[in-house]
């Protein structure tokens, strides 16, 4: 994945349709029932969006007990997906490391919850 070719060109209006916000992980739990190792996340996106859930395949670099309080970036306007018995409401964003394992995207400093990427 790290050497994937660039995707087709989209318009700026297409980009503006994607709602990427910053949230703070409230709690995280292992999700051993998932097909691929994953973590259940409960994320606070501030008063406008509120708390949302996500299932993320981030077990290589992140232990659930170390995720609470971490700010993350996520797409908040995709439709929810059923991941086994868990309803994932947002897509937490990451990039692959040299081995293709997910590294979470986070702001470089603490920022207000719900802030929109631009």
Total structural domains within the chain: 1
Percent of the chain with pLDDT over 90: 87
1 has pLDDT over 70: no
> Is 27 inside any structural domain?
yes
| Averaged pLDDT, 44-56 | 97
> Is 89 inside any structural domain?
yes
3 has pLDDT over 80: no
pLDDT tens-digit series, residues 10-19: 999 999 999 9
> Is 58 inside any structural domain?
yes
> Is 111 inside any structural domain?
no
90 has pLDDT over 70: yes
> Is 71 inside any structural domain?
yes
> Is 100 inside any structural domain?
yes
| Averaged pLDDT, 35-61 | 96
> Is 12 inside any structural domain?
no
Mean pLDDT score of the chain, rounded to an integer?
A: 95
> Is 79 inside any structural domain?
yes
Please give the pLDDT value at position 2.
52
Domain that holds residue 58: 19-104
Instruction: Give the chain as a 3 state SS string.
Output: CCCCCCCCCCCHHHHHCCCEEEEEEEEEEEECCCCCCEEEEEEECCCCCCEEEEEECCCCCCCHHHCCCCEEEEECCCCCEEECCEEECCEECEEECCCCCEEECCCCCCCCCCCECC
Please give the pLDDT value at position 88.
97
Please give the pLDDT value at position 34.
86
Decide: pTM greater than 0.85.
yes
Q: Residue 93 sits in a domain of what CATH number?
A: 2.40.50.140
The residue with greater pLDDT, 106 or 33, is 106
């Amino acid at each position: 994945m790290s050497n994937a070719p660039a995707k087709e060109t989209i318009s700026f209006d297409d980009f503006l349709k994607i709602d990427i916000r910053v949230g703070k992980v409230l709690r995280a739990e292992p999700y051993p029932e998932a097909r691929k190792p994953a973590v259940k996340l409960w994320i606070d996106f501030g008063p406008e969006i509120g708390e949302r859930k996500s299932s993320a395949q981030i077990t290589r670099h992140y232990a659930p007990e170390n995720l609470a309080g971490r700010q993350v970036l996520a797409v908040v306007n995709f439709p929810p997906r059923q991941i086994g018995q868990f309803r994932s409401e947002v897509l937490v964003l990451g990039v692959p490391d040299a081995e293709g394992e997910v590294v979470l995207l986070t702001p470089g400093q603490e920022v207000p919850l719900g802030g929109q990427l631009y």
